[in-house]
Amino acid sequence: MLLIYRACMSLLSCITFITVIHAQQCSDMSATTLTQKLYSHLYQLKDDYTIFGHQDAMAYGVGWRSVPGKSDISDVVHDYPGLYGFDIANIELGMSKNIDGVPFKDIRSNIQDAYARGGVSTISWHVGNPLTGKNAWDTTHGSVASVLPGGQQHQKYKSWLDKVAVFLQSLKTPAGEPIPVLFRPFHELTGTWFWWGKNNCTPEQFIELWNFTQDYLMQVKNIHHLIYVYNTADFEDEASFLLRYPGDQNVDMLSFDRYQYEGVDGRAIFLRVMNQQLGILTKLASAKQKIAAIAETGYEAIPDPNWWTGTLYPLLKQYPVSHVLVWRNAGFMKSTQKMHYYAPYPGQISAPDFKLFYTYPKILFEKQLATKNIYQ
pLDDT in the model for residue 335:
86
Average pLDDT of the chain to the nearest whole number: 94
Question: CA torsion sign, 228 to 234 to 240 to 244?
Answer: negative
Domains of the chain, start order: 2-370 (3.20.20.80)
pLDDT in the model for residue 308:
98
**Helical residues (DSSP H) of 17-120, grouped into ranges:** 33-45, 72-77, 104-117
pLDDT in the model for residue 349:
98
Question: CA torsion sign, 56 to 58 to 62 to 67?
Answer: negative
| Spatial CB neighbours of 45, under 8 Å, sequence gap ≥ 6 | 51, 322, 364, 372, 374
Residue 4, pLDDT > 60, answer no
pLDDT in the model for residue 17:
34
Residue 228, pLDDT > 60, answer yes
Which pLDDT tens digit goes with each residue over 108-117?
A: 999 999 999 9
Residue 10, pLDDT > 50, answer no
Q: Which residues pair with 256 in a beta bridge?
A: 232, 294
Neighbours of 65 (CB within 10 A): 12
pLDDT in the model for residue 130:
97
Residue 13, pLDDT > 70, answer no
